[in-house]
Structure formats: C-alpha cells, structure tokens
Amino acid sequence: MTLHSELKATVPAGRPNDNRTDTSHANLSDDARRVAEELRTNTISRKVLDGSVRLMDATCAMGSGYLAYILTSGNSLPDPMTAGALVAAPIMAIVLFQIADLYQTTLMRRSGEQLSRLGVAWALVFAGLIALSLLLVPAEAIPSSFLSNWFLYGVGALLVARLILNRLVRKWMTEGRLNRRAVLIGGGNAAAELIAELERQAFNDIDICGIFDDRGNDRSPPSVAGYPKLGTVADLVEFARIAHIDMLLVTIPLRAEKRILQLMSTLWVLPVDIRLSAHTDKLQFRKRASSFVGTVPFVDVAQKPITDWDTIIKRVFDLLFAALALALLSPVMLITALAIRLDSPGPVLFRQKRYGFNNELIEVLKFRSMYHEKTDANAAKLVTRNDSRVTRVGRFIRKTSIDELPQLFNVLGGSLSLVGPRPHALAARADNELYEQVVDGYFARHKVKPGVTGWAQIKGWRGETDTQEKIQKRVEHDIYYIENWSVWLDLYILLRTPFSLFNTENAY
C-alpha cells in the first residue's frame, strides 16, 4: 500500500474555514497539517533512479571484469584486448538489461523475476563478448579462466546489488517516494472524473495527496472518491511549504479563464509543476503544449525549475566550487576574523534568519560588520551610507563582500547554493514596505535555493534595496535566472562575481 492510499483510507475530510478573508496568513486545519507532515520527505526522481541503476550495473560489469583480470594475470594494467572487453561489456549489459525490462521500477520490486532475467541477460552479455572476441583473436588467445571468473564475479556483484536495490525500491514504493505527489485544485464532479481516469491508467505514477477548493461543502463535497478536501487555495500555499509536492492538477474547466488566472497569481510562486486538466474539454493538443499521464491530457502552465539530474549537477557544482573557494580564501577569512575580534568586542560571526527555498526559514552566516550591541537580526532597518552601527572593519568587509564568505559553509550544509537569488532578511523593507508588499509574486524567487551570488548582483543590483525600483529590478533579475538556469549560467555568474565587486556604489 502506498502512502497516498493510506491517507485516502485513514484521513477524514478537512473542514476549512470558508469564511476566512485573510488569505495572506492561511491556517491549516489539523487534518491538512497532519497530511503535510506525512509528506515532508522528498520524493525520488525516477529519471535519477533509472540513471543510477544503469551506472550501478555498468560499474558491476566493469569492476568484476577488472577484478577477475587482476586475480588471473597478476597485473594491474590490462592489455588492449582486455581493456576493450572491459569497455564493451558494460555497454552490452545496459542494452540487454534494457531489453529485459530490468530498468522498469515495477520489476525492480519483484526479486525472483528480476534475478532470473538478470541471469539470462548476463549470460547473453558473455555470449556476445565471446563471439566478438573470436572474431578478433584466435580462440587459444582467450584465457578461459579469466572469462569464467569474470562471469562468476559479475553474477555475484549484480545479484547483491540488485537484491539491495530490491529492498530499497520496495521501501520507497511503500512510502510513496517513487511516485509523483499531486494535489487537486477544485473538487466536485470534475475532480471525481479526473481521479477515475488516473486510477484507470495501468502505469500511473501519481499519488493524489488531497484536494483544495475555495467553494463551500454545499458546492464542493468534503471528500471526493475517498480523497479529503484539506482546505482552500490559500491554505494550499502554506500546505506546500511543509509537504513536498511535485505537481498541482487544476480541475477547473479551461473556459473559466478568469478563475484560472486568479489561481495562477496565487500559486505560481510555488516550486511545483502546475497543470490544467483537459480531459473533460475534449480538445486536441500538440505535444509541446501539453503533457499526458497515460492517456489523460494536461495543459502545462508552470514547470518546476531545476529537477531530476539538474538538481544533482547543481549540488555537485556547489560542493566542488564551495570547497575550492574555502581552500583558497581561508587565509582571507582568518585575517578577517582576527581583525573583527581586535576592532570591537563581540562574536566574529553574525547569524541571521532569512527566507530560503520554498520560503522556508534558514540561518545564514556572515562576518559581523556592526557593533555587537547594535546588530539587527531581522534587518528591520537597512544599513545606509555612513551608518553609525557599522564598525571600521565592517565598512571594508561590506564594500568588498568579504562579510559574505562564511556563507560558503551554508553552501556545504545545503541551505544555500553558490548561485541563486540572494536571501533577504525577514523584515527587510523598501520605502517602509515589506518586499512582498512591494513586488507581486515576490516569493517566486524562492522556487530555487538562494545563493551567495546571483544574476542580479553581477548586473549591478548589488547592495542596498531601499527603494521600490531597486527591489523590483532585483526580483526581475532573480526570476530571469530561475527561468533560464543552466550550469553554464551558474559558471558565468561565478566567474563574473569578482569583477562585479568593483561596483561599490550601493554597498556600504
């Protein structure tokens, strides 16, 4: 039983407050909060799982061959013939394993069938390998002990790896972590029809986690096909701050354009896929304008940024360059720490709560640049030119951005990325108004992890954001970065950052 079926069976329908008018501070019902807590764990991308299993199989195939060669010949450096075989075997294995459906998630959880297919496919790999070898060299030149040992070691390595994989996949499927978690927006008959369509799909990988609808129970029942209504659309924003949701499926008819636009203005700030259900509209869509779950069509409205392998690539990029930066800049950081300690009493580091990914609170590290008794943890008052709260050392490290260097530890810890929208303090204001009150869709900049540096910073929008125009421009640059992200863009921003520090007009 998957997680969504457990929720469907055990969670009673939520009863949201339909009379609430303040949508900016939604309060989840007990049922919604309980469901959200159950969904705190991240889902596992099937694309990443598929690629990881292929890499595991290739490693087992090549590693077992190399081990067999060392034990048979006593040499550590393979001859050209053996090296060719060590490269060919993993390629043949992946192709034949694909033909045997060994990369199907449903088969990975069935140990008996998986292992029997694996044995047959591995035998075919060696049949092909031997046939290929015979075409290139005489039969007596092929050491039989090497091939037999390789076959046995390979079988052993692959069986052990696949048994471990079987345990993990069964666990993840039971927890619902290999499925895409979806929330329905809009209840009633449209939601019931969509649920029925999805549940009819043989290979449906969507778990429905609940329904959110602004309509009262008289127009939208508290439960649809056994799935509870957990609250209003305003509640959904808070729900998605707790639960890890992959997509929002809007069941409102496409012809209700005004209502859909209202929903999008609220929901587009969330780091999820947003799709409009088109199964009842009987329209024909081009593939680039729509997506399908089985045969159920959806109109793609918003895509979750940086998903699947991109997430891993960005994380590896962060770890590699953050570790390198720490190694190179550690003398500067040590000298800065000593200067701060000698300049004024108080701790060397300053900790400040800021908004992170998906609007979650994170604690950011900085070198202390103010007198300890005058520090402002919430940044209720922005630092201005010749600010009396800033120390002598503080003025220098703020102008040069040296005060930001401890955030490299945040990058290693995972709360920050090297490149991304800069995290803002909780009470930061422009023209005496909170940033989210100045910029529509301000929280959309939190659809990715915040960064130590970013697109806005290298484009001249670094430093104080005391006016509405400045924060508007910074957010515009942040959204551009999110919508155009690539690892090459991250590298470009990183390389340009040192040069952007020469512009100190707004840094004080």
Say how far residue 288 (Cα) sits from the centre of its chain.
23
Give the per-residue pLDDT at 156: 94
- 505 assigned to some structural domain: no
146 and 254, same domain (yes or no): no
**Which candidate, 369, 493, 379, 362, places its Cα nearest to that of 425?**
379
- Structural domain total, the chain: 3
- Give percent of the chain with pLDDT exceeding 70: 85
Core vs surface per residue 183-195: b (16+ CB within 10 A) or e: bbbbbbebbbbbb
Q: How far apart are CA 432 and CA 268, in angstroms?
A: 26
More confidently predicted of 380 and 369: 369
461 lies in some domain: yes
Tens of pLDDT, residues 376-394 = 766 666 676 777 888 899 8
Q: Quick one: average pLDDT of 390-408?
A: 90
Residue 74 lies in a domain: yes
SS3 call for 458: helix
Mean pLDDT of 228-239: 89
How far apart CA 197 and CA 18 sit, in angstroms, is 29
Residues 323 and 449 in one domain: yes
Whether residue 263 is found in the same domain as residue 341 = no
Does residue 425 sit in the same domain as residue 324? yes
Q: Could you tell me the pTM of the whole model?
A: 0.80
- pLDDT over 90 for what percent of the chain? 35
Of 302, 330, 349, the domain-final residue? 302
Do the bridges between strand 206-212 and strand 223-224 make them parallel or antiparallel, or are there none, so unpaired?
unpaired
**Inside any domain, residue 155:** yes
55-69, 240-254, 484-498: range with lowest mean pLDDT = 240-254
In a domain, 507, yes or no: no
* Cα(430)–Cα(424) distance, integer angstroms: 12
* Cα separation values, 226 from 191, 235, 456, Å: 11, 20, 47
Give the tens place of pLDDT for each residue, 145-199: 888 899 999 999 999 999 999 999 999 988 888 888 999 998 888 888 888 888 8
In this structure, the answer to whether residues 154 and 208 fall within a common structural domain is no
Helix (H, G, I), strand (E, B) or coil at 70: helix
Number of other CB atoms surrounding residue 295 within 10 Å: 9
**What pLDDT score does 51 carry?**
94
- The pLDDT value given to residue 284: 44
Please check whether residue 189 lies inside any domain of the structure: yes
pLDDT over 70 (residue 114): yes
Rounded-to-integer distance, Cα 435 and Cα 38, Å: 32
Considering 139, 174, 209, which residue would you say is the last residue of a domain?
A: 174
Please give the pLDDT value at position 380: 62
Q: How far apart are CA 80 and CA 373, in angstroms?
A: 70
Q: What is the DSSP string of 249-272?
A: EE-S-TT-HHHHHHHHHHHTTSSS
Stretch 85-103: mean pLDDT: 92
Question: Can you tell me the distance from the alpha carbon of 54 to that of 102, in angstroms, rounded to the nearest whole number?
Answer: 10
Q: For residue 503, what pLDDT is reported?
A: 64
Across residues 413-434, what is the average pLDDT? 82
- Tell me what pLDDT residue 466 has: 67
Query: How far, in whole angstroms, is CA 243 from its chain's centroid?
Result: 13
137 and 237 share a domain? no
Q: What's the mean per-residue pLDDT of the chain? A: 83
Model confidence at 506: pLDDT above 70: no
Handedness of CA 21, 27, 30, 36 (dihedral sign): positive
Residue 320 lies in domain:
309-500
For residues 206 and 248, state if they share a domain: yes
Highest mean pLDDT among 205-214, 283-292, 298-307, 459-468: 205-214
CB 462 within 8 A of CB 503: yes
Mark whether 30 and 86 lie in a shared domain: no
Question: Cβ of 370: how many Cβ atoms within 10 Å?
Answer: 19
433-434 and 247-250: which strand pairing? unpaired
Residue 502 binned pLDDT confidence (cut-offs 50, 70, 90): low
Q: Is the pLDDT of residue 416 over 90?
A: yes
Which residues are within 8 A (CB) of 214 and not within 5 positions of it... i.e. 6 or more apart?
Answer: 18, 232, 233
Tell me the per-residue pLDDT of 239-282, one tens digit each, with 9 for 90 and over. Answer: 988 999 999 998 887 777 788 888 887 888 889 988 887 655 54
pLDDT at 5 over 60: no
- Measure Cα distances from 70 to 124, 146, 161, 395, 459 in Å: 24, 9, 22, 62, 56
Query: Residue 68: pLDDT above 60?
Result: yes
Q: How far apart, in whole angstroms, are the C-alpha atoms of residue 43 and residue 7?
A: 16
Only one residue has tokens 């459906």, namely 101
Helices (H) and strands (E) in the chain, counts: 17, 14
Residue type, 436: E
| Interatomic CA distance for residues 300 and 274, integer angstroms | 6
What's phi and psi for 276, nearest 5 deg?
A: -95, 125
Residue 355 in domain: yes
Exposure of 96 by Cβ count < 10 A (0-12 exposed, 13-18 middle, 19+ buried)? buried
**Does the pLDDT value for residue 313 go beyond 70?**
yes
Q: CA nearest 342: which of 398, 407, 392? A: 392
Q: What is the CATH number of the domain that holds 255?
A: 3.40.50.20
Report the chain's C-alpha Rg in angstroms: 28
Q: Is the pLDDT of residue 295 over 90?
A: no
Residue 452: strand pairing partners: none
Domain annotation covers residue 506: no
